[in-house]
């Protein structure tokens, strides 16, 4: 029977990893240890005691749910639980903690776990990644450390399906525009993430942008135009409930926009935008849209919520099909089977994919935070826009899939 450790007890663990692991635990295929830290939120700058308590209430509610199906839950803030954690030697560790803790958490399991899988981005500090890789190289054990981005899984699978779907023919070997939207509605996930989003939406969610460029162009050719960020108050007239009462106190973004260019797989210069938001609008909007064709009338949409791919435009619209299994479920299934296939889009952070940590460079233009009541469709009318005119070098590193 395998021993599986999950580091973190937030909503992503609840909605993805716990649901994927539960059937294996119930069939006696593995023991599941979910490790969390009720002392973590209290270390975050700018959070009030009320916010810390609220964050921990959500964590403990999740923990009670994990316990109900047989997971063993251990709190690092409890000395007795820490002793139990120190005695574990798992087959696999999934690091699903805030971005700035990833390397620290992974390092604690070197030499003890066979495989360590780290959620995106691998870390927000490139130096911490370098130190982790240096220590890993000196370890005498057989630990392997992998990065995992569930959108990179989707991108990788789409790359493999492009020829079958007739993508090149549909867009007439021309791509002109790329648009990525990751907008989450209402209060969903705001409170639970407020302690871990202190580096902002660019740092937390911007890494997906790099992964999703992969089917359509070369991420190494990415050049930034501008980065904008804003903190929004509620606007009931427009149906926008932003949870600004929680975010504005800490000065964190609820919306961010990135404008950039890259070179397409066909050689054209593509103008691109990425929009990320929490508490925006009345329903989630998570998709990639690519505009191509000689008349700019061909569109391919990857709905990242439903995993539907839709080819539209032109006289002969292409297929509407579903491509992607749930990436986390796929990861857990392959780990339980002892496989690490290319379809997982796993990456070695020491061989190029650590470029995701360089999202710090994307954050530099965000010099101001703006509070306002502008609805999404009026943005960036009240936002901030500081051009990064000096940026001319290509995106560092290269995409490599293990």
Burial label, 213 (beta-carbon count in 10 A; 0-12, 13-18, 19+): buried
What pLDDT, on a 0 to 100 scale, did the predictor assign at position 199? Answer: 59
Structural domains in the chain plus CATH codes: 2-148 (3.40.50.720), 157-324+354-387 (3.30.360.10)
Say how many CA atoms lie within 13 Å of 323 toward its Cβ. 26
**Residue 134 pLDDT:** 85
Does residue 325 sit in helix, strand or coil?
Answer: coil
pLDDT at residue 183, rounded to an integer: 84
Element (H, E) at 289: strand 285-292
Please name the helix (run of DSSP H) or strand (run of DSSP E) that holds residue 192, with its range, or none: helix 190-193
Kindly state the helix (H) or strand (E) to which residue 181 belongs, with its residue range.
strand 175-184
User: Is beta strand 92-95 parallel, antiparallel or unpaired with respect to 115-119?
Assistant: parallel
pLDDT of the residue at 15: 92
Tally of residues, the chain: 402
Q: Count of H helices and E strands in the chain?
A: 14, 16
Q: Tell me if residue 50 falls in helix, strand or coil.
A: helix
Q: What is the pLDDT of residue 117?
A: 93
- The mean pLDDT values, 10 residues at a time, for the chain of 402 residues are 95 94 96 95 78 87 96 97 96 91 92 90 79 82 84 85 91 97 67 56 76 88 76 43 36 71 96 83 85 94 88 75 80 88 62 50 42 32 27 27 24
Using an 8 Å Cβ cutoff, are 108 and 89 in contact? no
Query: What angle, rounded to 10 degrees, do the helices at 150-165 and 327-336 form?
Result: 100
Place of tokens 């008349």: 295
- Residue 308, pLDDT score: 86
Supply the pLDDT for residue 339: 82
* Lookup: tokens for 372: 């306002």
């Amino acid at each position: 029977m395998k021993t599986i450790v999950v580091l973190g007890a937030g909503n992503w663990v609840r909605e993805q990893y716990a649901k994927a692991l539960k059937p294996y635990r119930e069939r006696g295929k593995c023991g599941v240890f979910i490790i969390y830290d009720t002392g973590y939120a209290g270390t975050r700058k700018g959070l009030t005691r009320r916010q810390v308590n609220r964050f921990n209430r959500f964590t403990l509610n999740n923990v009670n749910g994990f316990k109900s199906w047989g997971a063993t839950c251990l709190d690092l803030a409890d000395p007795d639980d820490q002793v139990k954690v120190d005695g574990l030697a798992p087959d696999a560790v999934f690091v699903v903690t805030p971005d700035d803790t990833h390397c620290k958490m992974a390092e604690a399991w070197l030499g003890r776990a066979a495989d360590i899988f780290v959620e995106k981005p691998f870390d927000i500090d490139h130096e911490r990644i370098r130190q982790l890789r240096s220590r890993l190289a000196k370890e005498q054990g057989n630990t392997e450390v992998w990065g995992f981005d569930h959108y990179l899984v989707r991108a990788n699978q789409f790359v493999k399906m492009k020829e079958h779907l007739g993508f090149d023919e549909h867009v007439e070997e021309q791509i002109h525009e790329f648009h990525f939207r990751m907008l989450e509605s209402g209060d969903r996930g705001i409170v639970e993430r407020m302690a871990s989003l202190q580096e902002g939406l660019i740092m937390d969610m911007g890494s997906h942008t790099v992964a999703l460029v992969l089917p359509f162009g070369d991420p190494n050719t990415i050049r930034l135009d501008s980065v904008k960020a804003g903190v929004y108050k509620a606007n009931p007239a427009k149906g926008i409930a932003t949870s600004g009462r929680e975010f504005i106190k800490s000065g964190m973004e609820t919306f961010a926009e990135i404008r950039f260019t890259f070179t397409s797989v066909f050689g054209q210069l593509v103008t691109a935008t990425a929009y990320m938001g929490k508490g925006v609008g009345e329903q989630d909007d998570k998709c990639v849209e690519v505009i191509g064709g000689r008349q700019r009338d061909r569109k391919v949409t990857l709905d990242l919520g439903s995993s539907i791919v839709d080819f539209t435009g032109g006289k002969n619209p292409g297929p509407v099909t579903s491509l992607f299994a749930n990436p986390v479920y796929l990861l857990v299934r392959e780990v339980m089977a002892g496989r690490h296939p290319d379809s997982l889009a796993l990456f070695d952070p020491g061989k190029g994919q650590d470029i995701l940590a360089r999202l710090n460079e994307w954050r530099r233009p965000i010099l101001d935070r703006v509070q306002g009541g502008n609805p999404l469709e009026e943005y960036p009318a009240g936002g901030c826009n500081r051009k990064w005119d000096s940026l001319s070098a290509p995106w560092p590193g290269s995409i490599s899939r293990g």
